[in-house]
A and B are shown apart, each in its own frame.
Chain A
Amino acid sequence: MTKDIILQLSIRSIRLNFLRSLLAALGIVIGVVAISSMGMMGANMTLSVTEELSAMANVLVVKANANGGGGGMMGPGGGGSGGSSSSDDDYISKDQLDDIDRAVGQYGLVYPLYQDTETIEVGDNEGRATIYGLRDEDMATVLTVEEGALPKTTSSVVVGPSFAERHGLTIGSRITIGDEDDDEAVVQKVRVVGILEEKGMSMDMNTDNAIVMPEKTFVGLFGGESEYDQVNVILNDINDADTATEAIENQLNRKEDEITVQDSSRMMESITSTVSTLTTFVMAIAAISLLVAATSIFNVMMMSVTERIREIGILRSIGTRKNEVLRMFIYEAVILGLVGAAIGAIMSLVLGWLVVLAMVGTTKYFFTFQSLIYVPMAMLIGIAICIFSGVYPAWRAANLDPIEALRSD
């Protein structure tokens, strides 16, 4: 193999000024570590937030449009009996539900729900409660019971844990729904057969503080069979949110805006974009360290050129071409960059891991592509900066007048 004598000269020059070169490379090391660990922190933060949020943000909520024409007719007995919700005028019909199911059934679970608020009585205490009605087949898939079982009859319900605690309900407790003082109102006494698992904040349905009953019981109380207050779509993959929203809108809003789709992944998007803005900002600050590194590389290269003017003169006078001198100094910059970037890469794996552990709290996502990509990225930036800083000194060296250069001491 041909020994590249020009490369040899670069290597030897670096070796001769080992400490100086090492210090210059250190700037690159710091820059690479700063950029990649900040980048990795951001990536890990985004991934971690995304996962936390996607647990609750994978829901599309479809509601009838208040001004829409479809399903706007008053159903028989709809909204009459003590219900106070203004949305009673607008509901999603069975046909619309089928349309939604056809449009996005492949993306996840589609289920309709009834919702109302009503006066309730537990023992002697009166109050108001949110009541959800679910189809029997959806009950088992949508609800998770902590204690007891799902309601099987029209006189049994499940309640959320907060609701149960507030009203001192246990399995077997009785609740009276409806205002007993109002003669026209439908009143029903129900029994608590199960208490739901705590769900936390959710977009589709806040069961923690509500009563959930089968469709038949709900319709018995409030009427309006198959006039759903909202339809939820629980997506299997949050990335389908846009496609699914579009599909629903295309299916139902062809003529008029019958429905509106609330895409809770939008909220997640805005949070993730906030995180990434923050990351970019922090990385920009980290990039300043690379600017400092660039200056130090430039300085070292200029020193190297100045110190070696005479040597450059010799090289030129005995037949070294301009571009070979240029190459010699570019090589020097590249070697500094490569060494700095390589050390930086190893160190950023260690430091990045620690930063992620400290700032994000978990290193679960550390070894993912999105996170580790910042290491080669920062390396490339570091090497590029080195070459960039070396271009002018190298160009100067190559364009020295050999006679002048030979004359210098």
Chain B
Amino acid sequence: MTAVPVIELRDVTKIYPLPSGNVLALDRLSIRIERGEFVAIMGPSGSGKSTLLNQIGGLDVPTSGILRITGRNIRKMSDDELTDLRLNTIGYIFQKFNLIPLLTAFENVEYPYILKHRCNDTTGRVSRLLNEVGINTRMAKHKPAELSGGQQQRVAIARALVNDPDILLCDEPTGNLDTKTGAQIMDMLIALHRQGRTVIIVTHDPSVGEQAERIIRIKDGKVDET
């Protein structure tokens, strides 16, 4: 493959220094994810998958090794550059939805757009995205607390997409939802993948993982080859 992989980890190690001794969360991990892939990262709790997610998401930097996101080594980035990476390149979808409680559904989706473009959305993109995830205009005026879990996650998906990110990073996206709603959200993610987006799902739920094209299993901070 000649194209630059969207995510490339080479011998990535992450050590958390703790008073009780250093914790090796990622142990010389190497992963390559190509553009347009639908990958599930799976593993038991404590396996290092959350740490891996934080590294890929630009929330944290590895202790050593090379981690390239869309070809750029994030270990060389300043805090502001990492922040801009999260704003422009990565779309986050969290287990707990993580909408901003002070803003309406519409404003939650518009928020990253304003941060990026320094102006309100006049293109109708926010409304269109909300419409695509099944949130109508009336619901868009509600605060997150007034929406159901499924609705909140839909808003969160719209928010993740608003700056047209290269990577859609989902952390247990169905973990806080009932089976039926969870399935709807999964369908939505699969549909997004079909549209050509790179989707990475971190989960411990096998039924979620199964729906991905590829499963990367993590155990003790390493890729579990078995």
**Chain A interfacial positions (CB closer than 8 Å to B):** 2-3, 5, 8-9, 12-13, 16, 310-311, 313-322, 324, 402-403, 406
Which residues of the other chain, A, contact B118 by a CB distance below 8 angstroms?
A: 2
Q: How far is the CA of A317 from the CA of B100 in the complex (A)?
A: 12
The verdict on A318 contacting B101 (CB below 8 Å), with A2-B119, A402-B59, A403-B59 known, is no
Q: Are B80 and A322 in contact (CB under 8 A)?
A: yes
Q: What's the minimum C-beta distance from A404 to chain B, rounded to whole angstroms?
A: 10
The verdict on A315 contacting B100 (CB below 8 Å), with A2-B119, A321-B83, A403-B54 known, is yes
Q: Give the A-B contact count at a CB cut-off of 8 A.
A: 68
Minimal Cβ-Cβ distance residue in A for B86: A319
Minimal Cβ-Cβ distance residue in B for A310: B98
Minimal Cβ-Cβ distance residue in A for B111: A5
The verdict on A406 contacting B112 (CB below 8 Å), with A2-B120, A9-B103, A322-B83 known, is no
The verdict on A318 contacting B103 (CB below 8 Å), with A5-B114, A403-B54 known, is no
The verdict on A318 contacting B92 (CB below 8 Å), with A3-B114, A5-B111 known, is yes
Minimal Cβ-Cβ distance residue in B for A398: B79
Q: Are B59 and A318 in contact (CB under 8 A)?
A: no
Q: Are A406 and B120 in contact (CB under 8 A)?
A: no
Q: Are A311 and B102 in contact (CB under 8 A)?
A: yes
Q: Are A319 and B116 in contact (CB under 8 A)?
A: yes
A12, A311, A317, A322: most-surrounded residue (chain B CB, <10 A) = A317
Which residues of the other chain, A, contact B60 by a CB distance below 8 angstroms?
A: 403
Q: Are B54 and A318 in contact (CB under 8 A)?
A: no
Which residues of the other chain, B, contact A406 by a CB distance below 8 angstroms?
A: 59, 94, 98
Q: Are A320 and B115 in contact (CB under 8 A)?
A: yes
**Contact residue range for chain B?**
20 to 34
B84, B92, B102, B114: most-surrounded residue (chain A CB, <10 A) = B102
Q: How far is the CA of A288 from the CA of B143 in the complex (A)?
A: 41
Which residues of the other chain, B, contact A315 by a CB distance below 8 angstroms?
A: 100
Which residues of the other chain, B, contact A319 by a CB distance below 8 angstroms?
A: 83-84, 86-88, 112, 115-116, 163
Q: Within B21-39, which residues are at the interface with A (CB < 8 Å)?
A: none
Which residues of the other chain, B, contact A320 by a CB distance below 8 angstroms?
A: 83, 87, 115
Which residues of the other chain, A, contact B100 by a CB distance below 8 angstroms?
A: 9, 311, 314-315
Q: How far is the CA of A311 from the CA of B163 in the complex (A)?
A: 20
Q: What's the minimum C-beta distance from B142 to chain A, rounded to whole angstroms?
A: 15
B159 within 8 A of A: yes
Instruction: Kindly supply a per-residue 1/0 record for chain B positions 184-218, scoring 1 wherever the CB is within 8 Å of any chain A CB and 0 otherwise.
Output: 00000000000000000000000000000000000
Q: Which 3 A-B pairs rank lowest in CB-CB distance, beginning with the nearest?
A: A319-B87, A12-B102, A314-B98
A2, A318, A321, A322: most-surrounded residue (chain B CB, <10 A) = A318
Q: How far is the CA of A194 from the CA of B222 in the complex (A)?
A: 117
* B102 interface neighbour in A13, A317, A318, A403, Cβ under 8 Å: A13
Q: What's the minimum C-beta distance from B189 to chain A, rounded to whole angstroms?
A: 18
Which residues of the other chain, B, contact A322 by a CB distance below 8 angstroms?
A: 79-80, 83
B221 within 8 A of A: no
Q: Are A9 and B102 in contact (CB under 8 A)?
A: yes
B48 within 8 A of A: no
B57 within 8 A of A: yes
Q: How far is the CA of A340 from the CA of B109 in the complex (A)?
A: 33
Minimal Cβ-Cβ distance residue in B for A313: B98
Q: How far is the CA of A9 from the CA of B58 in the complex (A)?
A: 24
B83, B115, B116, B119: most-surrounded residue (chain A CB, <10 A) = B83
The verdict on A3 contacting B120 (CB below 8 Å), with A16-B102, A406-B98 known, is yes
Which residues of the other chain, B, contact A12 by a CB distance below 8 angstroms?
A: 102-103
Q: How far is the CA of A317 from the CA of B97 in the complex (A)?
A: 12
23 contacts between A and B (CB under 8 A): A2-B118, A3-B114, A5-B110, A8-B103, A8-B107, A9-B103, A12-B102, A12-B103, A311-B102, A314-B98, A317-B57, A318-B111, A318-B112, A319-B86, A319-B87, A319-B88, A320-B87, A321-B79, A321-B80, A321-B84, A322-B80, A322-B83, A403-B54
Q: Are B120 and A317 in contact (CB under 8 A)?
A: no
Which residues of the other chain, A, contact B115 by a CB distance below 8 angstroms?
A: 5, 319-320, 324
Q: What's the minimum C-beta distance from B11 to chain A, rounded to whole angstroms?
A: 22
Q: How far is the CA of A5 from the CA of B117 in the complex (A)?
A: 12
Q: What's the minimum C-beta distance from B26 to chain A, rounded to whole angstroms?
A: 14
Q: How far is the CA of A406 from the CA of B60 in the complex (A)?
A: 13
Q: Are A317 and B92 in contact (CB under 8 A)?
A: yes
Q: What's the minimum C-beta distance from A327 to chain B, rounded to whole angstroms?
A: 12
